[in-house]
Structure 1
Amino acid sequence: MAERTGLSKSTVGRIWQRFDLKPHLTDGFKISTDPLFVVKVVDVVGLHHNPPERAVVLCVYEKA
């Protein structure tokens, strides 16, 4: 993940620890069947990584 994002390994580790993420313990995950899933993910991630100038990006995530 660090290599793909350009972040250091320690930064990725701190993010995982802060949010109690343990991807190495996950057996699998479900992919959405929404045909626009990839487009939507790109839009959401784009807002996080490059928000419009003078914008506030607020997020609410629902746990399945």
Structure 2
Amino acid sequence: MRRSDICLYLGPADRAELRALTTNRNTPRKLVWRAEIVLATADCHGTFEIMRRAKTSKPTVWRWEQRYLEEGVAGIKRHKTRPSRVPPLPMETRLKVIAKTVQETPPNVARQT
């Protein structure tokens, strides 16, 4: 069943740009994949058909449809950054490490002259 809140109409310029992405052999695969999802949505293929073609999940199809609706082709091309799973060290810890590195020589290290 097709989501009723997604209505995707591609203008000629956007369609041509997305087609160019899919046919260019130098385009990264993930960009081709995103463009194919948007083109299939614009061609009125249902979510399950798009999932089958792209070999992906329903939320992924919805994510790229939504990103195109919000940002256009530029949103399809742009990679969103994600926060690291490892939290950064606190500033005071970083400063201590830097100070210790500058001021002390590690044991068992030959001196360079």
Could you tell me the TM-score, scaled by structure 1's length?
0.33
Larger Rg over CA atoms: 2
Q: Which has the higher contact order (CA 8 A, sep 6+)?
A: 2
